[in-house]
Amino acid sequence: MKVAIYQIANRVGMHPKELSRAIYDGEVTGEVPDGNPQSKQAWVDLLSLRNYIQWLYERERMDEIRYLKSIRHLDALRRQMSGSQR
Protein backbone atom coordinates (compact mmCIF):
# COMPACT_ATOMS: atom_id res chain seq x y z
CA MET A 1 0.00 0.00 0.00
CA LYS A 2 1.33 3.38 -0.99
CA VAL A 3 1.01 6.39 1.27
CA ALA A 4 2.27 9.93 0.76
CA ILE A 5 5.47 10.64 2.70
CA TYR A 6 4.12 13.91 4.05
CA GLN A 7 1.17 12.02 5.60
CA ILE A 8 3.17 9.38 7.46
CA ALA A 9 6.71 10.61 8.18
CA ASN A 10 5.97 12.71 11.24
CA ARG A 11 3.52 10.14 12.61
CA VAL A 12 6.30 7.54 12.74
CA GLY A 13 8.78 9.98 14.22
CA MET A 14 10.81 10.60 11.08
CA HIS A 15 11.45 13.81 9.20
CA PRO A 16 10.35 13.56 5.54
CA LYS A 17 13.99 14.10 4.47
CA GLU A 18 15.10 11.20 6.68
CA LEU A 19 12.48 8.95 5.11
CA SER A 20 13.42 10.04 1.60
CA ARG A 21 17.06 9.24 2.40
CA ALA A 22 15.99 5.70 3.37
CA ILE A 23 14.23 5.43 -0.01
CA TYR A 24 17.32 6.65 -1.88
CA ASP A 25 19.50 4.19 0.05
CA GLY A 26 17.19 1.33 -0.90
CA GLU A 27 16.13 0.62 2.69
CA VAL A 28 12.47 1.40 1.97
CA THR A 29 10.38 1.05 -1.17
CA GLY A 30 9.04 4.35 -2.44
CA GLU A 31 9.56 7.24 -4.78
CA VAL A 32 10.60 10.86 -4.29
CA PRO A 33 10.11 12.74 -7.57
CA ASP A 34 12.40 15.74 -8.12
CA GLY A 35 14.08 15.02 -4.76
CA ASN A 36 11.23 16.73 -2.89
CA PRO A 37 9.95 14.60 0.02
CA GLN A 38 7.21 17.18 0.69
CA SER A 39 5.72 16.61 -2.77
CA LYS A 40 2.25 15.08 -2.88
CA GLN A 41 3.68 12.66 -5.46
CA ALA A 42 6.33 11.31 -3.05
CA TRP A 43 5.24 8.00 -1.56
CA VAL A 44 6.40 5.10 0.56
CA ASP A 45 5.17 1.51 0.80
CA LEU A 46 3.61 0.84 4.23
CA LEU A 47 4.84 -2.75 4.56
CA SER A 48 8.35 -1.76 3.55
CA LEU A 49 8.30 1.13 6.04
CA ARG A 50 7.01 -1.16 8.81
CA ASN A 51 9.84 -3.63 8.14
CA TYR A 52 12.38 -0.80 8.14
CA ILE A 53 11.15 0.54 11.47
CA GLN A 54 11.30 -2.96 12.95
CA TRP A 55 14.86 -3.31 11.60
CA LEU A 56 15.85 0.01 13.22
CA TYR A 57 14.41 -1.10 16.54
CA GLU A 58 16.15 -4.50 16.44
CA ARG A 59 19.48 -2.74 15.86
CA GLU A 60 18.76 -0.38 18.77
CA ARG A 61 18.61 2.69 16.52
CA MET A 62 15.11 3.43 17.81
CA ASP A 63 13.82 3.30 21.36
CA GLU A 64 10.86 1.12 22.35
CA ILE A 65 8.35 3.93 22.85
CA ARG A 66 9.02 5.43 19.41
CA TYR A 67 8.92 1.94 17.87
CA LEU A 68 5.55 1.06 19.43
CA LYS A 69 4.07 4.43 18.49
CA SER A 70 5.28 4.07 14.90
CA ILE A 71 3.90 0.55 14.52
CA ARG A 72 0.56 1.64 16.01
CA HIS A 73 0.26 4.48 13.49
CA LEU A 74 1.23 2.25 10.56
CA ASP A 75 -1.25 -0.46 11.54
CA ALA A 76 -4.06 2.08 12.00
CA LEU A 77 -3.36 3.66 8.62
CA ARG A 78 -3.23 0.24 6.96
CA ARG A 79 -6.62 -0.70 8.48
CA GLN A 80 -8.06 2.65 7.42
CA MET A 81 -6.81 2.22 3.86
CA SER A 82 -8.06 -1.37 3.67
CA GLY A 83 -11.51 -0.32 4.82
CA SER A 84 -11.78 2.49 2.29
CA GLN A 85 -10.88 0.21 -0.63
CA ARG A 86 -13.86 -2.10 -0.11
Residue 70 and residue 5: Cα distance in Å, rounded? 14
- Average model confidence (pLDDT) across the chain: 93
Type of residue at 83: G
- Residues 18, 23: Cα–Cα separation, whole Å: 9
Query: For residue 34, what is the DSSP state?
Result: G
* Domain boundaries, position 24: 2-84
Q: Which helix (H) or strand (E) holds 30?
A: strand 30-31
Report the alpha-carbon distance of residue 64 to residue 2 in Å, rounded.
25
Q: How confident is the model at residue 83 (pLDDT cuts 50, 70, 90)?
A: confident
pLDDT-derived band at 44, boundaries 50, 70, 90: very high
Q: Number of folded domains in the chain?
A: 1
19: pLDDT strictly greater than 60:
yes
